[in-house]
Amino acid sequence: MGRWGRHSPVLEPPDPPPPSPPPLPQRAFMRQSSFTKIGNMLNTAININSVKKPHGNGEAAWCFSQIKGALDDDVTDADIISCVEFNHDGELLATGDKGGRVVIFQRDPASKTVSPRRGEYNVYSTFQSHEPEFDYLKSLEIEEKINKIRWLRRKNPAHFLLSTNDKTVKLWKVSERDKSFEGYNTKGENGLTKDPQNITALRVPSVKQIPLMVEASPRRIFANAHTYHINSISVNSDQETYLSADDLRINLWHLEVTKESFNIVDIKPTNMEELTEVITAAEFHPTECNVFVYSSSKGTIRLCDMRSSALCDRHSKQFEEPENPTNRSFFSEIISSISDVKLSNSGRYMISRDYLSIKVWDLHMETKPIETYVVHEYLRAKLCSLYENDCIFDKFECCWNGKDTSIMTGSYNNFFRVFDRNTKKDVTLEASRDFLKPKTVLKPRKVCTGGKRKKDEISVDCLDFNKKILHTAWHPQENIIAVAATNNLFIFQDKF
């Protein structure tokens, strides 16, 4: 991408069922001949079948909008996208890469005024967020790779975001400037301070219009608080605090204080040989500022309430599904590890992603998920080879749409999956450079696991495991999705 052309909360009641269709109008009774009855039946059937059914998000109703990043096959490791995040109104879209850079895209104003609206974004700002460092005490290199980006809600004309690598979190201010001041009394044109004795006249500085500049400046640097690699950051709903999580600890920070943080979760055992699990992801509740959740490599999700204890080692709730004995294997513990957890926008549900599936949990029910969606079950037979090439340790992210009715996650071969919770339909789509024409409708892809392969299917043995969709984001208000595929960012939207 260097070249761009978190006591239980008071939760909301379940969503109401969809409204039933309006009753048919009453008709006056009259005796009909058999031919008239047959004719009415045929007309009714034709009218019902002619009603256009709306597309659910899980159906194949997505089309290509844009692709960002270099299209050549010579990809440097620094250009590989490592995170994608929309801001709260979807006007900005930020990506981070392994080279420590953050690229911000802004929604094209013209794409919102046309009918139908288009999901098109242009480069807004690019800046170097992190640099490679070296820990001389531990003789360890600290990568510049951006692990996570989280936006703060906008309070003034400037935008603020948090970005983190393995060790350091930074708060960035992104602002616009289109004016400059000239005619200072104590400062010369070269920027040097004048000798007050040489000032003979008092001038009023003037304002000069300049071409629009977008400036990114680091406002706070939160460092030296994590012994292990940071895997998650999450801004609290109070917009004053945030959490950062590494493999064994979760810290609570105030956005205005960089010199101290509060350790709220610590699962490190006294003897590291007794270590059985690590923290894989953590997130604040979207509306309850005292509640957060974190997932573990053992497949459990714990919900903690900061009102109950300063150190939340004792959770309020634990969400875990008992393992099916028939699926028990050498790889069971690995594939049950949760790579990502996201609370719904309403705060009632959450989704968790493990290696083979994505699960929807009701925060009122800890015993089992209310929905389970299979992402790529056809890979269960290939776990041995996936273990040998380390793909089994890939960490796939997941996301909600703005209305909590659909979820999305990635897979291999540049495939990504969209699940519609209302219709229970799902679709597999591909982020491919072969379809770069705007408005091109994405064709659903199917994977053949054996037997005779159909024309539009791809064999499981032909999947490219080097091409993987790990990072996805969904616009908070519209059906616009961003999918990171190696060094390219694909933007899709619902069908025109």
Higher pLDDT, 481 or 42: 481
CB 148 within 8 A of CB 163: yes
Q: What pLDDT is stored for residue 179 in this prediction? A: 84
> From the CB of residue 466, how many other CB atoms can be counted at a distance below 10 Å?
11
Name the E strands within 312-432.
317-319, 340-343, 349-353, 357-362, 371-374, 398-400, 406-410, 415-420, 426-430
- Report how many helices (DSSP H) and strands (DSSP E) the chain contains, helices first: 4, 32
**Residue 194's pLDDT band (boundaries 50, 70, 90)?**
confident
Q: How far apart are CA 123 and CA 106, in angstroms?
A: 6
What is the widest separation between alpha-carbon atoms in the chain? 111
Angle at 96 between CA 153 and CA 429, to 5 degrees: 95
Query: pTM of this prediction?
Result: 0.82
What the block records as the tokens of 369 is 């998920």
| pLDDT of 494 above 60 | yes
Q: How far apart are CA 394 and CA 386, in angstroms?
A: 10
Most confident of 86-90, 117-121, 206-210, 312-316: 86-90
b/e map 469-481, b = 16+ CB within 10 Å = bbbbbbbbebbbb
Q: By three-state DSSP, how is residue 204 classified?
A: coil
Residue closest to 409 by CA, chosen among 460, 474, 313? 474
- Phi and psi at 35, nearest 5°, equal -65, -40
Helix extents (H) in 140-213: none
CA distance to 63, 255, 262, per residue, from 259 (Å): 47, 11, 11
pLDDT, tens digit (0-9, with 9 covering 90-100), for 211-260: 889 999 999 999 999 999 999 999 999 999 999 999 999 999 999 999 99
Q: What pLDDT is stored for residue 120 in this prediction? A: 92
Angle at 376 between CA 462 and CA 281, to 5 degrees: 125
| pLDDT of 53 above 70 | no
Q: How far apart are CA 101 and CA 127, in angstroms?
A: 6
Q: What pLDDT is stored for residue 118 in this prediction? A: 86
| pLDDT of 383 above 50 | yes
> What residue type is 94 in one-letter code?
A
Place of tokens 């270099």: 70
pLDDT, tens digit (0-9, with 9 covering 90-100), for 329-378: 889 999 999 999 999 999 999 999 999 999 999 999 999 999 999 999 99
| pLDDT of 178 above 70 | yes
- C-alpha of 459 from chain center: 29
Give the mean pLDDT of 35-49: 38
Q: What pLDDT is stored for residue 59 in this prediction? A: 53
The sheet that has 480-485: what strands, in order across it? 62-68, 488-494, 480-485, 471-474
Give the mean pLDDT of 11-29: 44
- Strands 169-182 and 206-222 turn out to be antiparallel
Q: What pLDDT is stored for residue 242 in this prediction? A: 98
- Phi and psi at 457, nearest 5°, equal -95, 155
> What residue type is 476 in one-letter code?
P
Asked if the peptide bond before residue 13 counts as cis, ω within 30 degrees of 0, the response is no
Task: List CB contacts of 397: < 8 A, sequence separation 6 or more.
Answer: 339, 340, 353, 409, 410, 470, 471, 472
| pLDDT of 14 above 80 | no
> What residue type is 160 in one-letter code?
F
Task: List CB contacts of 366: < 8 A, sequence separation 6 or more.
Answer: 317, 318, 319, 320
Lowest mean pLDDT among 54-68, 136-150, 473-487: 54-68
The sheet that has 291-296: what strands, in order across it? 279-284, 291-296, 301-305, 317-319
pLDDT, tens digit (0-9, with 9 covering 90-100), for 158-169: 999 999 999 999
Query: Which contacts qualify for 50-56: CB closer than 8 Å, 24 or more apart?
Result: 55/494, 55/495, 56/406, 56/420, 56/422, 56/423, 56/425
| pLDDT of 31 above 70 | no
